[in-house]
Amino acid sequence: MSRFVISDHHFGHANIIDYCDRPFSSPGEMDSVLLDRHYETVGADDLLVHLGDVAMDMRDGEETIDYFQRLDGDLLVRGNHDVGLDPADAPFPVLDSCTLEHGEFQFYCTHRPEDVPDDWDGWVLHGHHHNNRPEEYPFVATDAQRVNVSSELLEYRPLALDTLTTLLRECPPGTRLRDVAAAREHFGLSGT
């Protein structure tokens, strides 16, 4: 069993295609590619922690539940577009944040990095900023001990914690990697 993380699928959200310059012609094409890449990557026995914005679901949570179940997700850290979801209505755990340990790494998991407690001194896994502010919120920023797992930066494919921690061990201080393509180029990242 492997553990995977990702955020910001935004299933069914037409405006996200232009907002994040996603390479899709329609929400239907986008949703199909997102689901295909998920199924190609995450096995039935694997665990998926989603860091928010499964869908553009501000009303009642039904879309979030539907798409998260299609992903066979295990834990949802609620994002700002999952606000319609009442955690009591979900058939899976819904939290505002959590911590994950993987080897010697401890990660604070949140949708918005601005919500990390002031006294947290470990690594942060987050989404929310997509690929729109890569100078401030790249995929990996070792100086800030921060990893942005927005789907655009991961080539719309969940990232295995084994792969991530291997990469973080290889990063010298001050490393900043825009996305997984940059990580692959510099360090031979695989297994996403």
Supply 9's token pair.
């699928």
Q: Which of 157, 151, 148 is nearest to 178 (CA)?
A: 148
Which fold does the domain 3-187 belong to in CATH? Purple Acid Phosphatase; chain A, domain 2 (3.60.21)
Report pLDDT digits (tens) over 133-160. 999 999 999 999 999 999 999 999 999 9
Report pLDDT digits (tens) over 48-93. 999 999 998 878 999 999 999 999 999 999 999 998 899 999 999 9
